[in-house]
Structure 1
Amino acid sequence: MIISRGAGALRCVLSHVKSKSLTQNLQPIRNAHDAIWTYRAPQPPQKKYIRVMADALGGIMWWWIFWHLWHEWGHIVGEFEYPDPSKWTDEELGIPPDDEE
């Protein structure tokens, strides 16, 4: 029984040693993709084309909002005229009649 347990442990150790020796010869992996790390420092300025695209997309967004507010304002305020509450009956308001006890 001790031999069967030792074989599994030996396989685990050998696989660990093999993986270590393979990764030691490789260059370190960098997953930053040219990102600049800023920790407790001001962020560096963005590239000019990114600022221009952000301004352009922001302008398009605000044009879209104001265009629809001007031409389709019924979506905001409602498309039907507001009912006059003074014309509602007691029954519609859920008020019981006066002669009921």
Structure 2
Amino acid sequence: MIVSRGIRLIKNASIIAKQKFSSNMMQIRNSGHEVAYREVPDPPRHEVIFAELGAGFMWWWVFWHLWHDWGHIVGEFEYPDSSKWTDEELGIPPDDFD
């Protein structure tokens, strides 16, 4: 029994070794839409143009506001000097507190 199974295993291995596999084998599916497996189809030209215009507008918006409203990034007011704060403002209890 082991010999008969071993012979069948060798036959199957030789059949598999003789088969040619290609990297672009795709299964046919009738699901109603295009399926891409391991390869990305090129997008339509109008989508590429729309994406580029949208990204350009977004970067224009960012740089415009960085140039004209830079106070949002660095702050509009002077940063307080923490060395002038009292212990009470910092939440430190007095030395004689028990």
Taking structure 2 as the reference length, what is the TM-score of the superposition? 0.59
After TM superposition, the structure 1 = structure 2 runs for residues 77-96 of structure 1, keeping only pairs within 5 Å, are 77-96=74-93
Q: Does residue 44 of the first structure (1) align with residue 41 of the second (2)?
A: yes
Partner Cα separation in structure 1 for residue 97 and residue 42 of structure 2: 76
Alpha-carbon offset, residue 53 of structure 1: 1.5
Q: Does residue 66 of the first structure (1) align with residue 63 of the second (2)?
A: yes
**CA deviations over 1:81-100 (Å, ceiling 9, x no partner):** 11100000011111122233
- Corresponding residue of 1:97: 94
Root-mean-square deviation (CA, aligned residues, Å) is 2.1
Structure 1 residue runs of 4 or more that deviate by more than 6 Å after TM superposition: none
**CA deviations over 1:21-49 (Å, ceiling 9, x no partner):** xxxxxxxxx984xx4221x2311111222
**CA deviations over 1:34-87 (Å, ceiling 9, x no partner):** x4221x231111122221111111101110111111111222222221110000
Which residue of the other structure, out of 44, 47, 51, is the alignment partner of 1:54?
51
5+ residue gaps, structure 1, are: 1-29
Q: Which has the higher contact order (CA 8 A, sep 6+)?
A: 2
In structure 2, do the counterparts of structure 1 residues 99 and 41 end up closer, same or farther at CA, with 3 Å as the change threshold?
Answer: closer
In structure 2, do the counterparts of structure 1 residues 51 and 98 end up closer, same or farther at CA, with 3 Å as the change threshold?
Answer: same
Give identity over the alignment, percent: 57
Number of matched residues?
69
Instruction: Give the structure with the higher percent helix.
Output: 1
Taking structure 1 as the reference length, what is the TM-score of the superposition? 0.58
5+ residue gaps, structure 2, are: 1-29
